[in-house]
Structures are given as structure tokens and as C-alpha cells.
Chain A
Amino acid sequence: MSVRVLAAVAVLLIGLSLALPALATGYVVYIGNLLLVFVVLSLGLHIVIGEAGQFSLAHAAFYGIGIYTAALSSKVLGLPFLAALLAGGLLAALCGLAIGILSLRMRDIYLALSTFAFGEAMQWVFLNWTPVTGGPNGLAIPPAQVLGQPILSDKAAFPIVAGVTLVVVALVAGLHASGLGRAFRAVRESEVAAAAVGIDVRRTKLLAFTLSAFLAGAAGGLFTTFSTFIHPDSLGFQTTILVLTMIVVGGVGSVTGALGGAIVFGLVSELLRQVPSYQEMIYGGILILVMMYAPRGVFTLVGRR
């Protein structure tokens, strides 16, 4: 992502933070909040898949860990929003590190299946650890506290969600351009060649999984600023596939692609809710067309023009 695009994103988010709560309905702002959570989720998956080339199908699990941890930190410990968000990110990162250790011993489809199994296991935990997660009855999330004030509406939450998203976009763009970003991509292209030029492949992989999980957990923390309820059904494989679709359609390996894919597919998903009988067919049709005519991603195509 170029500095120019990053500046455009910053202007857009700051502009929307000022204008949207004043001009749009709460529903539009809610959708805006959701899209920004998808952006952070996509950027997290982008780090492990797009940058480091490691298959991870447990992203929804890390997201869920972030949501439950942030919600419970706020509910039980009374932590303010930012501390709760960091707690969610850190616990998810710890789990990501564990998965990263697993990744040192396997690759490709075997790694994909192992991370998938972790995701399914976590959903089982969310569903059955009733005293903590509320189980199938879901968990009521208390309003996030910022400077001692509860956030009680989507409009109040939007500037905070936009601000955190902007920081994450800048960090991921910076990471992409940094030495660590180059190390990620070297491992993605060839672990042997990366090791030959002095890159610590084990450390690099562990970092990729940990950072990716941290962002997924942070996205979970962001979700708790404008949502009052979480149910385990929202944290299954379908959510992981949705985020994976976002980064693939946007353009694997591209920060702009992950960002654009999240916005476009998040919007498409909501707009298709208006056409119940045809939504799956339209969704599938869009995917097939993109894979046929823009296999490297829609936003990488736009970026090249």
C-alpha cells in the first residue's frame, strides 16, 4: 500500500467519523462499524496467508476469543475499552502462538486441517463452556467504557472503531514495507531460500501467526464497542471462509486488496440480505466471475491501472 493510498484511507476514515454519525441513520453507521471490523479481521488473515503464505483456518476462533475476552474483561474486571481490547488481542495472540508452534511441524493442507480443527474445537468451547461464555444462550456484552463513559450507540462507537482501524491499517502497511514484511514474503516464496539468506524461518512463522491472531482478537474487541450480544453461531467456519473470501477476492498478498475486499464483500453480504431467495446464487456467481477474470484479486487489478 502506497503512502498516497494510506493517506486517502486516513482522510476517508476521519471524514466519515465526522460526517457519518451526523448525516446517516444508526443502521448505516452500524454497517460501517461492521465493515471496519471486517477490515481489521481481513488484515489479520492477510498477515498469515497473504504475507507469510501459511494456511490458517482458525481466524473466527481468534476473533471469538477476542470478543469473549474483551466482553468478560469489561463485565467482570471492569476494564476500560482499550485495556479490554488489548486483553482480547493478547489472549488471541497467545493461542495464535500455540498454533504457530504447530505450524513449524506441518504445512499446506495438513496445516490447514489442523487450524480448521482448532477453529471447530474453539467453537465447541464457546458453545459448551456455559458458565463463562453463556453457551448456546449467547453472552450479553456490557457497553464499552471510554473515559468512564459508556458507549451506547453505533454513532458514538464509530469514531473509536474508525480510529483503531486506521491505526491497524497504518501498522499493517508499515509491516508490509518493513524488513519483517520482506522476511514474511521470503518465507512464503521459499523457506529454504529464506533460511539461506539468514532469515530465522521458525521465528518468522511464529510471529506471523501471533500477529495475525492478535489482530483477529483486536477485531473482536472492536466488535464489543457497538454490539451488545455474541452467539457462538457467529464464530464458526463460515466466518473464517467469509474473511478468507475477502482477502482472496481483494487480492492475496496486497494490503489494499485485504482492505478493499473486506469493504466490498462486507457490503455485498449485507445488500444480498435484501434478496433472500437469490443471495447464495449471486454470491457464488460473483466469486466465480472474480476467480475467472481477476484471479489475482480485484483490487490488485485496480491498483495496476
Chain B
Amino acid sequence: MTKHSLCRIALAVAALAGLAGPARADEPGLTPTTIRIGMFGPLSGASMAYGFDVMNAARMYYDKINKEGGIHGRKIEVVQEDDRCNANDVVAAVKKLVEQDGVFLLNGGSCSAPVVAAKDYVVRSGVPWVMLNASGDGALYPPQPNIYGAFSISQRAMGGSVVEFASKELKAKKIAYINHDDAYGAWNLEGARFQAKDNGVTLVPEAVSPSITDVTAPVLKMRASGADALVIATYARPAQLILKKAQELGFNKPIVIAVNAIANLKQLAENVGSKDAFRNVYIEEVLAAKPGSEKLAWIYDLYKANYPDLAGKPDHPQVYMPYGIPSAMTVVRALQAAGPNPTRAKVIEALDRTDFDSGVMAGPIVLTKTEHAAQKASTYFKFDGEGLTAVPGSFASRWTYQGQ
């Protein structure tokens, strides 16, 4: 072997070693003056809208806590990673945060399918993981000892809540329910079925592909079922097609659009193209009040103060921005409850006793030893294609995990 070969080997080893980080203390991520929290989410790529500003919201909340003196004298230090909403990148980001950056706990994850990729590793490592806004059903059921999520809402709870609204507020006895024919669809249908049975109403489900292009058959089927209300639990694109077709085919019963499809209501209305299609339409929202309303104004003001450059851009704050707050609030409350000498075990214990009203989401944030999905309620608005009119109250799912 030549000198050059040996040099190349040395360089390669050095390159890998260059990724290595500093040595860790006994309780990782903890110093007398700081607590290190690892955050991850889509900071780039096509799925950025799901998490970029959600992370910003959580970070600005941590900044606020730091300005108020921190937690038992410790300031929160955030280490941030981009996961591009890709399963491999989620795993790389989580492993880097835990093993390289030595964070005390994780507060990340905005995309439900990829976050599942990190589940086994996080369970094995024992690091507490509080998701951001991923519904995360795949990682939350069956409950894992150190994983918490669904701070916006889980798919199961979404299905339950929307049926609760249709049966209690709209007085529907028979509810047509269009969902996707994938895992998400199966999850929300599970919650919807439970709630329908519990409320004594009939559910008429119809599963469609997320990439469906002609919705005539499912809409005709739903119309023929004689349902008193139609729930659309699909993503935005199929929802637009169903709304348009329902109007064309003269479906005149109330239509409820689930939270999955409302990321951009203006765009939804434009794509449907006719105001008449919105004569009897309601939308589901998981926030406690209308986005931008007085109740939530402090969040938008905080965003403007923390990110003045971003706030000046037309697409910011992104729709899901406030969803980052309850997750960060939960982390702060657990750290406070764990006392001046926190350990991961103490924080997990505190997380299992979480019960508070965030003032941000439709329902309370409740975590127990056996239920790690935090939020189960939604608010509803009548949507006429332009404006939103709030329906009083919130509507919660009662579905609970019963084991495999």
C-alpha cells in the first residue's frame, strides 16, 4: 500500500470523525444554566408549509419563556434540524440531535407518515419526544412510553369530532362520509364509526383514492344514500372536486369539510369556482378561534415581533403556524413540573399528567399514561366561499385506544 493510499484512508476517517460531537454529561443536554431541546421539521422542500412556521412558532414561545427568566433558572437552547418530511431524513435528524448534539428532549415532527420512521429508535433511546403538529397516529397508537403528539388533532379524533358536529349541530341521522382509501382514511374512519355508533346515527362511508380525478360515482352514491349531511375527510384536491360535483348534481344537504382540506381556503374557493357550491358548507378547524382573531392575536403579534422579515412576506405566517404553540407549552410545563433537577424520567412522568387549556386549540391538552394524543376537539365555521362565521362551541371525539 502506498503513502497516498494511507493518506486517503486517514482523510476518510478524519471526514467521518469530523461529524463527531462533544462528549456528553450524565443527563444529556442539561447544564446548570441551559436545557437543550432538539427540534426538527421540514425547513425546505415541497412540504415546508406543514412545518416551517410551526417550528418558528415553537421557537418564539421558547424565546418568550427565556425572556421571562427561563425554567428554574435555565434558559432553553434550541438545536434545529431539517427533516424535509422524508423518513430517512427524519431518522438522520433525530439520531444527530440525540447522539451528536446530546439534546435533553425532542420537540419535532410535522408530517405524520415520516415521523413513524423514528419511533423505534426514540423508544429504544428513551429520549422524551413531543411532536410538533404531526397527527402521528402511526407513532401514537399503540401508545409508546416516551412519545407524545397530535397537538393539532389525530386522524381518529378528527373523524370522531366531525361526526359529533354533523349529528349534534346539524342533527343528521344519516351521515355520508367520503375518506381516502389509505391508512389516514382508515384511521379517521375508525374514529368516525365509533362516534356514529355512540351517537346512534348511521354512517355511510365511501373511500376514494387521494389521486382521484372523477368523483361522479362516489358523489352519486352518497346522494342516493339519502344522507342528511356529507362529510368530506379527504385532502384539498379531492375535496374541491367533490364540492364542485355535489353542486352540479344538485346535492343540497349540509357539507362538512374536515381539517385535512382547509390549508388554503381562498385557493379552495377559487378552484371550485362557484359561490353557489358554498351555500351550505361548514369547515372544521382545530384552533380555538378564527385564525387572526382577537383570542389568538398574541400569537400573530409575537410572530411579527420575532420574525419581522418573514412577517412582511405575502405567504407568512403560514396557516399552520399557531399549531406550534401548544406543543411548546406542553414541553415548558413538563420541564417546570420536573423541578430544578429534571431528568428524562421526571419529564416523562410530568408529561403523563398534562392537563391544561392552551387557549390556542379547540380542546384541552390532555396526556395520560395510556393516551399520548393530546388534543381531540374541533371548532366549526360556516364558509360561504369568502368569509367564516363561527358555530358556537367545540365538538370533541370520544374515541379511545382499546388495544390491538
Given the complex of chains A and B, what is the CA–CA distance between A270 and B138 in angstroms? 26
Q: Within the complex, what minimum Cβ distance (angstroms) separates A51 from chain B?
A: 24
Contacting residue for A234 out of B9, B87, B119, CB 8 A: B87
Stretch at the interface among B66-74, B94-102, B268-276, B393-401: B94-102
**A276 near B82 (CB under 8 angstroms)?**
yes
Given the known inter-chain contacts A25-B99, A137-B183, A276-B44, please indicate yes or no for A16 contacting B16, CB distance below 8 A.
yes
Residue of A nearest to B112 (CB): A137
**A273 near B5 (CB under 8 angstroms)?**
no
Contacting residue for B120 out of A8, A12, A19, A229, CB 8 A: A229
Interface flags for B166-193 (1: CB within 8 Å of A; 0: not) read 0000000000000000111000000000
Contacting residue for A24 out of B8, B20, B183, CB 8 A: B20
**B92 near A228 (CB under 8 angstroms)?**
no
Contact residues, B90-124 vs A (CB, 8 A):
91-93, 95-96, 98-100, 113-114, 116-121, 124
Q: Which residues of B contact A106 (CB under 8 A)?
A: none
**A12 near B9 (CB under 8 angstroms)?**
yes
Residue of B nearest to A223 (CB): B88
Contacting residue for A23 out of B17, B43, B96, B118, CB 8 A: B17
Q: A178 an interface residue at 8 Å Cβ cutoff? A: no
Given the known inter-chain contacts A140-B120, A229-B120, please indicate yes or no for A27 contacting B182, CB distance below 8 A.
no
Given the known inter-chain contacts A25-B100, A130-B183, A273-B93, please indicate yes or no for A31 contacting B87, CB distance below 8 A.
no
Contact residues, A46-67 vs B (CB, 8 A):
none
**B183 near A27 (CB under 8 angstroms)?**
no
Q: A295 an interface residue at 8 Å Cβ cutoff? A: no
Q: Which residues of A contact B118 (CB under 8 A)?
A: 229
Interface of B is mostly: helix
Given the known inter-chain contacts A233-B87, A233-B113, please indicate yes or no for A136 contacting B81, CB distance below 8 A.
no
Q: Which residues of A contact B368 (CB under 8 A)?
A: none
Q: A11 an interface residue at 8 Å Cβ cutoff? A: yes
Given the complex of chains A and B, what is the CA–CA distance between A230 and B16 in angstroms? 25
Q: Which residues of A contact B120 (CB under 8 A)?
A: 140, 228-229
Q: Which residues of A contact B99 (CB under 8 A)?
A: 25-28
Given the complex of chains A and B, what is the CA–CA distance between A137 and B182 in angstroms? 8
Given the complex of chains A and B, what is the CA–CA distance between A171 and B103 in angstroms? 42
Q: B284 an interface residue at 8 Å Cβ cutoff? A: no
Q: Most chain-B CB neighbours within 10 Å: which of A153, A227, A263?
A: A227
Contacting residue for B138 out of A5, A25, A137, CB 8 A: A137
**A27 near B95 (CB under 8 angstroms)?**
yes
Q: B245 an interface residue at 8 Å Cβ cutoff? A: no
Q: A257 an interface residue at 8 Å Cβ cutoff? A: no
Given the complex of chains A and B, what is the CA–CA distance between A8 and B11 in angstroms? 13
**B100 near A263 (CB under 8 angstroms)?**
no
Q: Within the complex, what minimum Cβ distance (angstroms) separates A255 from chain B?
A: 16
Q: A149 an interface residue at 8 Å Cβ cutoff? A: no
Given the complex of chains A and B, what is the CA–CA distance between A206 and B88 in angstroms? 32
Q: A4 an interface residue at 8 Å Cβ cutoff? A: yes
Q: B217 an interface residue at 8 Å Cβ cutoff? A: no
Q: A301 an interface residue at 8 Å Cβ cutoff? A: no
Contacting residue for B5 out of A4, A137, A152, CB 8 A: A4
Interface flags for A82-97 (1: CB within 8 Å of B; 0: not) read 0000000000000000
Q: Within the complex, what minimum Cβ distance (angstroms) separates B181 from chain A?
A: 8
Q: Which residues of A contact B12 (CB under 8 A)?
A: 12, 263
Q: Which residues of A contact B182 (CB under 8 A)?
A: 130, 135-137
Q: Most chain-A CB neighbours within 10 Å: which of B9, B88, B92, B121?
A: B88
Q: A231 an interface residue at 8 Å Cβ cutoff? A: yes
Q: A15 an interface residue at 8 Å Cβ cutoff? A: yes
Q: Which residues of B contact A280 (CB under 8 A)?
A: 44
Contacting residue for A277 out of B9, B44, B121, CB 8 A: B44
Q: B84 an interface residue at 8 Å Cβ cutoff? A: yes
Contact residues, B130-160 vs A (CB, 8 A):
138
Q: Within the complex, what minimum Cβ distance (angstroms) separates B72 from chain A?
A: 28
Interface flags for B14-34 (1: CB within 8 Å of A; 0: not) read 011101110000000000000
Q: Within the complex, what minimum Cβ distance (angstroms) separates A278 from chain B?
A: 9
Given the complex of chains A and B, what is the CA–CA distance between A209 and B353 in angstroms? 57
Q: A7 an interface residue at 8 Å Cβ cutoff? A: yes
**B20 near A25 (CB under 8 angstroms)?**
yes
Interface flags for B186-209 (1: CB within 8 Å of A; 0: not) read 000000000000000000000000
Given the complex of chains A and B, what is the CA–CA distance between A138 and B91 in angstroms? 14
Q: B86 an interface residue at 8 Å Cβ cutoff? A: yes
Contacting residue for B96 out of A27, A138, A276, CB 8 A: A27
Q: Within the complex, what minimum Cβ distance (angstroms) separates B156 from chain A?
A: 13
**B19 near A273 (CB under 8 angstroms)?**
no
Q: Within the complex, what minimum Cβ distance (angstroms) separates B116 from chain A?
A: 6
Q: A104 an interface residue at 8 Å Cβ cutoff? A: no
Q: Which residues of B contact A154 (CB under 8 A)?
A: 95
Given the complex of chains A and B, what is the CA–CA distance between A305 and B183 in angstroms? 55
**B96 near A5 (CB under 8 angstroms)?**
no
**B124 near A15 (CB under 8 angstroms)?**
no
**B183 near A136 (CB under 8 angstroms)?**
yes
Q: A32 an interface residue at 8 Å Cβ cutoff? A: yes
**B9 near A270 (CB under 8 angstroms)?**
no
**A138 near B1 (CB under 8 angstroms)?**
no
Q: B13 an interface residue at 8 Å Cβ cutoff? A: yes
Q: A267 an interface residue at 8 Å Cβ cutoff? A: yes
Q: A245 an interface residue at 8 Å Cβ cutoff? A: no
Q: B89 an interface residue at 8 Å Cβ cutoff? A: yes
**A229 near B116 (CB under 8 angstroms)?**
yes
**A231 near B5 (CB under 8 angstroms)?**
no
Q: Within the complex, what minimum Cβ distance (angstroms) separates B126 from chain A?
A: 13
Given the complex of chains A and B, what is the CA–CA distance between A233 and B116 in angstroms? 13
Contacting residue for B91 out of A20, A30, A135, A267, CB 8 A: A30
Q: A279 an interface residue at 8 Å Cβ cutoff? A: yes
Q: B341 an interface residue at 8 Å Cβ cutoff? A: no
Residue of B nearest to A24 (CB): B20
Given the known inter-chain contacts A26-B95, A130-B183, please indicate yes or no for A267 contacting B15, CB distance below 8 A.
yes
**B86 near A234 (CB under 8 angstroms)?**
yes
Given the known inter-chain contacts A27-B19, A130-B183, A138-B138, please indicate yes or no for A273 contacting B81, CB distance below 8 A.
yes
3 shortest interchain CB distances as A-B pairs: A137-B183, A228-B120, A276-B43
- 10 pairs, A vs B, C-beta closer than 8 Å: A4-B1, A5-B5, A24-B17, A25-B100, A27-B98, A130-B182, A136-B184, A137-B182, A227-B117, A276-B44
